[in-house]
A = this chain, B = another copy of it.
Amino acid sequence: MSKNTRPLILVTNDDGMFAPGIKRLVEIARHMGEVIVVAPNSPQSAKGHAVTLADPIRLNQVDVFNGIEAYECSGTPVDCVKLAKNILLKNRKIDLCVSGINHGSNASINIIYSGTMSAAMEASIEGIHSIGFSLEDYAMDANFDPGTPWIRLIIEHVLSNGLADSKLLNVNIPHSSLGPIRGMKICRQAEGRWEEEFVEGVDPRGQKFYWLTGNFATNDTVEGTDISALREGFISIVPSSHDLTHHRAIPALKSLESIKHIV
Contact = CB atoms under 8 A, between A and B. Distances in A.
A222 interface: no
A77 to B, nearest CB: 10
A239 B243 contact: no
A244 B82 contact: no
B238 A256 contact: no
A244 B239 CA distance: 8
A231 interface: no
Interface stretch (A15-23, A28-36, A93-101, A178-186): A178-186
A203 interface: yes
A197 interface: yes
Interface in A208-263: 208-212, 237-250, 252-254, 256-257, 259-260, 262-263
A109 B243 CA distance: 8
A24 interface: no
Given A126-B193, A165-B248, 15 more contacts: A46-B51, A48-B49, A48-B118, A59-B208, A82-B196, A149-B262, A165-B246, A185-B257, A186-B250, A189-B244, A237-B253, A239-B250, A239-B253, A240-B245, A241-B245
Interface residues of A, number: 87
Contacts of A245: 187-189, 238-241
A76 B49 CA distance: 12
Contacts of A48: 47-51, 78, 118
A75 to B, nearest CB: 8
Interface of A: 43, 45-59, 76, 78-79, 82-83, 85-87, 109, 111-113, 118, 121, 125-126, 149-150, 153-154, 157, 163-166, 168, 170, 182-189, 191, 193, 196-198, 201, 203, 207-212, 237-250, 252-254, 256-257, 259-260, 262-263
Given A79-B212, A165-B246, A201 B56 contact: yes
A49 B51 contact: no
21 contacts: A45-B53, A48-B48, A49-B49, A49-B113, A49-B118, A51-B113, A51-B212, A57-B198, A58-B207, A58-B208, A83-B198, A86-B198, A150-B262, A164-B249, A166-B246, A182-B260, A186-B253, A188-B247, A189-B245, A238-B245, A239-B245
A49 B112 contact: yes
Nearest to A168: B246
A102 to B, nearest CB: 14
Contacts of A58: 207-210
